[in-house]
Amino acid sequence: MAVKPIEWLGNRIKILDQTRLPLEEVYLETHDYLEVCTAIKQLVVRGAPSIGVAGGYAIALGALKIKSEFNNIFIKEYQVVSRTVAATRPTARNLFFAVERMDKVAGTAGTVEEIKQALVDEAVKIHNEEAEATEKLSDYGAELIEDGFTVLTHCNAGPLATTGYGTALGVIIRAKEQGKNVSVYADETRPLLQGARLTTWELQQAGVPVTLITDSMAGYMMSQGRIDCVITGADRITANGDTANKIGTYTLAVLAKEHNIPFYIAAPFSTIDTSLKTGDDIPIEERNPEEITHFQGVQTAPDNTSVENPAFDVTPHRYITAIITERGIIREPFHEGIKRWK
Amino acid sequence: MAVKPIEWLGNRIKILDQTRLPLEEVYLETHDYLEVCTAIKQLVVRGAPSIGVAGGYAIALGALKIKSEFNNIFIKEYQVVSRTVAATRPTARNLFFAVERMDKVAGTAGTVEEIKQALVDEAVKIHNEEAEATEKLSDYGAELIEDGFTVLTHCNAGPLATTGYGTALGVIIRAKEQGKNVSVYADETRPLLQGARLTTWELQQAGVPVTLITDSMAGYMMSQGRIDCVITGADRITANGDTANKIGTYTLAVLAKEHNIPFYIAAPFSTIDTSLKTGDDIPIEERNPEEITHFQGVQTAPDNTSVENPAFDVTPHRYITAIITERGIIREPFHEGIKRWK
């Protein structure tokens, strides 16, 4: 991939600031795990798999800075680091997946220096595995895309979101590489316009024709017969297949059902959380009202307007045609496929 | 009403610039019918009934400026005025309703001076009738709103859009005046944010609690059981009840059906076009791509991004629970109710 959203430079991390794209390519380079936490909160780095990768590196950076050589002191300070990273965002499963893996490594035997090195190695491993997973799932998913298909996608689930090949966009780009004629409608994805800013940019770089629409136009495009399938990424998938993803995804799923259009989720297994039975258990992040009352810093609503700003919604599994993973394509009954391959 | 979106000052028109609300209250005052045409095109004045009223006055202003006292020359120049006004926007039925009424008056017997006066009188009459119609339909519609209801609305269908009491918002405000506890979720309504800018502002002035959400959140709110009914205005309704309204309305209708929530259209009869059999016949305005790639002058998508920007969509009548008009509430079979009362 031409663009690296996250790069590990041995003792520090380099993060592409996704809030400044597509007009500016600005990088944050830091040794400070708290700066990485802020970057996650402010969506400098975003997309469930990328959040997980950044979270792993943040913990490694925090651990490297711990001065004590005594294991008992190290582990106490490590826990502060780990909990701080885990508290950055509540919905993406991949973050907790990374935190759990790092915590396990932190608890192994060895000197503090050895554990620090093992933590760095584990963060790099998480990064590599996430990237490889998206390559594999793109291969599986591309089989679902027929020549001539127009795909609708929401938010951004490309290389920026995944540090790898992309999930929803990975599937589309792989289909294009297979010689299929494929084009995309990209929802702009209010409030933060990841579709307008990032999905258009990534698909243009990949040579996939993309047309930008507002979120409110998806139903109209389906009613005109212009959409052959919907593919989105995911932030968390529960044991029964219910899927949390960017707010607006559920609406697309309902629209797809009404128009008899397949609705696909593309996500690595690190997004699947079998500790939760159904989507009702997924915590939904409520973000700053100013994301809605202001647009790129310009106020658009009257002062003191009441706002709700859930960042995600949950699509019940009955609306999902298939979940595309690096281990294969899962269909109803989802709980069986998830259990079999987990 | 505290705010007058359109005021006739005897020989000129005063228009509240709705593109500058809610942060600035700026008026355009002009004798020039072409300035009024530009105001309609640029949404300085907007909302189907308000477009109709402004169109009537624009024709009157154009007629007043014709210098010839010979009827045959007058009528030729009048036709240029009338056609120019009719070409400002393609979807709102109310505009053509006003143009047809003005054309009929222009064709009556009398001196040019008498015809000019009759045209001014007709424009004022259209204005008064539109205002009265929204009062009456609000009375009918308020009966559908139960105490404690939370209503979802899209775009803006209040006093600004109608020059009167409002259609969708008129119904809500009347229910509130009847002592009912009613609150509203307002879709921000991309791309031009009429919900964020205008609906919140009008409801706050009327003392109705309103919460602003992005268009993509409506499905989530319904899935959480937070919406009791949906009410929107309309830009054109065909003989069978199919309804064109702001892009995104169709999506709300599909969502409402999926959640068993009533979906109401509120519109005066001037919006109903029985010359068209179904919604397939309604011309849909395609607007400037920059409404989507830029916001308040700030670019948000990459250069040369392909865009589609239909300003309206069509909701087939089978999704509509009832159409609220000044002559009563119409339900399936809509074509019979429309025919009976037209």
**Dihedrals phi, psi of A151, to nearest 5 degrees:** -110, 135
Q: Do B190 and A257 touch (CB under 8 A)?
A: no
Give how far the C-alpha of residue A280 lies from the chain's centroid of Cα atoms, to the nearest Å: 20
Helix %, strand %, coil % of chain B (to 5):
45, 20, 40
CA distance A263 to A252: 8
CA B177 to chain centroid, in Å, comes to 23
How close B37 gets to chain A, by Cα (Å)? 25
- In angstroms, the separation between the Cα of residue B190 and the nearest Cα of chain A is 7
Question: Measured between alpha carbons, how far is residue B145 from residues A31, B142, B182, B183, B233 in Å?
Answer: 58, 5, 8, 11, 16
Q: Do B313 and A220 touch (CB under 8 A)?
A: yes
Q: Is B301 on the interface with A (CB under 8 A)?
A: yes
Q: Which residues of chain B have pLDDT under 50?
A: 1
Residues of chain A with pLDDT under 50: 1
Beta strands A236-238; A243-246: pairing state: antiparallel
CB contact under 8 A, B190 and A254: no
Mutant choice from A153, A251, A287 vs B, greatest count of B C-beta within 10 A: A251
Q: Are the Cβ atoms of A305 and B210 closer than 8 angstroms?
A: yes
Please give the pLDDT value at position A296. Answer: 75
Catalytic member of A215, A235, A242, A313 = A235
Tokens 């009410």 sit on residue: B231
Residue A272 Rama label (left phi>0; alpha psi -120 to 50; beta): beta
Answer whether B288 touches A (CB < 8 Å): no
**Kind of pairing between the strands at B312-315 and B243-246:** antiparallel
Residues of A in contact with B310 (CB under 8 A): 217, 220
Closest chain B CA to residue A311: B217
Q: Please, what is the end-to-end C-alpha distance for chain A in angstroms? A: 28
Q: How many CB pairs under 8 A join A and B?
A: 175
Domains in chain A: ranges and CATH: 6-135 (1.20.120.420), 139-341 (3.40.50.10470)
pLDDT of res. A113: 97
Burial A162-190 (b: 16+ CB within 10 A, else e): bbbbbbbbbbbbbbbeeeeebbbbbbbbb
B108 touches chain A (CB under 8 A): no
| Contact (CB<8Å) A216/B187 | yes
Q: What residues in A contact B210, CB-CB < 8 Å?
A: 305-306
Whether residue A294 lies within 8 A of chain B, CB to CB, comes out as no
Residue A175 to residues A168, A208, A265, B113, B202, Cα–Cα distance (Å): 11, 10, 16, 70, 49
**In contact, B95 and B270? CB cutoff 8 Å:** no
E strand or H helix at B85? helix B71-86
Name the residue among B204, B231, B245 with its Cα closest to residue B92. Answer: B245
Q: Note whether A291 and A258 are within 8 A (CB).
A: no
Residue B314 pairs with which residues in a beta bridge? B244
Closest Cα of chain B to A269: distance in Å?
A: 25
Active-site residue flag, B235: yes
Please tell me the distance in Å from B309's CA to the nearest CA on chain A. 7
A-chain residues within 8 Å CB-CB of B190? 188, 190, 214-216
Place of tokens 């397949």: A262
**Residue among B266, B252, B273, B268 at smallest CA distance from B319:** B252
A99, A105, A108, A109: CA torsion to nearest 10? -130
Residue B306's closest chain A neighbor by CA? A211
Residue A250 forms contact with B (CB below 8 Å): yes
Chain A environment of B200 (Cβ under 8 Å): 301-302, 305
Mutate to test the interface with A, among B208, B217, B304 (most CBs of A within 10 A): B217
What Cα–Cα distance (Å) separates residue B233 from each residue in B116, B132, B203, B268?
A: 33, 16, 15, 9
Task: Scan residues 23-42 of B and list those with Cβ closer than 8 Å to A.
Answer: 23
Task: Tell me how close the Cα of B33 comes to any Cα of chain A, in angstroms.
Answer: 30
- Residue-wise pLDDT for A15-66, tens only, equals 999 999 999 999 999 999 999 999 999 999 999 999 999 999 999 999 999 9
Contacts of A183 in chain B (CB under 8 A): none
* CA dist., res. A13 & res. A33, Å (int): 9
Bridge partners for B295 per DSSP? B298
How many angstroms separate the CA of residue B298 from the nearest CA in chain A? 7
Does any CB of chain A come closer than 8 Å to the CB of residue B193?
A: yes
Interface test with A, best of B155, B251, B259 (most A CBs within 10 A): B251
| Helices B249-258 and A249-258, axial angle in degrees (round to 10) | 80
Mutation for testing the A interface, residue in B150, B185, B216, B235 having most A CBs under 10 Å: B216
Residue of B nearest to A249 (CA): B216
Of the residues B32, B147, B187, B235, only one is catalytic, namely B235
